[in-house]
Amino acid sequence: MTASPWRTLCLVLCAICAGQLWCNLRRVDAGSPSSEDRSPPRGLARADLARRDTTPPREPCAAPASEHADDGAALYGFQVPSWAIWLAPHPGEDLRSYRDRLLPVGLAVIGPQRARVARGRDAFLGLARLDARQRAELDAATREAAEALQDRVMSAVLDGEFSPGTFKPMAGVALASDLLGIVGRGNRRFLDALRADQRATLAQHPFDFADYLVFSTRWEDALGP
């Protein structure tokens, strides 16, 4: 695996860890009394102090994500946090509403990455001096790989491979193997269109077919208007 997919995987893992840390810190802050609650201000009358002692303590205010941080579902012994559950379809939510809820979030996250891979593609094409036929081959390999990925994922969804009641880890392994195979065949088609000196240039350049495929493809177009 090249450096770009590893970098993308590390960024995703860092984002998940940061979200978990944020939830834990908010939960700790909500449960710890402040200094104002521990020591009453000077000058309060004894009656006020007595009334204050008999008043039931108020519930601490916490963010909704902190209050329900442990409400996530358990999957094979792992507790799924509530913020991750929010990314899944909600009960009674149709596909159109689910798309409209998550699409702005996805576009905001993927936008900078699309700009990055576009700059990397242009830099490599100029440096390696790809001709029109080779550029068309890159575009065709990317397009066909993206269509095959979409078809495979839709097939898994429609066939119920990820139904919560029947899901098995090996189903995820099989799907991952199929997806990686599709990406590998697209990359091979692109490499076969390059000369030996261009492949040597690619080996020293940050441009990566899998990275370009994932972030340049407009996956949202498959979701419809």
Nearest by Cα to 137 from 210, 214, 190: 190
pLDDT, average across residues 153-168: 81
Per-residue pLDDT, 176:
93
Backbone angles phi, psi at 181, to 5 degrees: -65, -40
Per-residue pLDDT, 66:
42
Q: How far apart are CA 79 and CA 218, in angstroms?
A: 32
pLDDT above 50 (res 35): no
* Residue where the block lists tokens 């076969």: 192
pLDDT averaged over every residue in the chain: 75
**Integer-rounded Cα radius of gyration of the chain:** 26
pLDDT above 60 (res 54): no
Per-residue pLDDT, 63:
44
Per-residue pLDDT, 70:
47
* Residue where the block lists tokens 């068309």: 136
Higher-pLDDT residue of 113 and 40 is 113
- For 88, residues 6+ apart whose C-beta sits below 8 A from its C-beta are none
Coil/strand/helix, residue 79:
strand
Structure tokens at 18: 């940061």
Per-residue pLDDT, 67:
44
pLDDT, average across residues 51-63: 51
pLDDT, average across residues 164-191: 90
Per-residue pLDDT, 165:
75
pLDDT above 70 (res 104): yes
**What whole-number percentage of the chain has pLDDT above 70?**
60
Q: How confident is the model at residue 17 (pLDDT cuts 50, 70, 90)?
A: low
Digit-coded pLDDT (tens) for 136-154: 999 999 999 999 999 998 8
| Global pTM value | 0.57
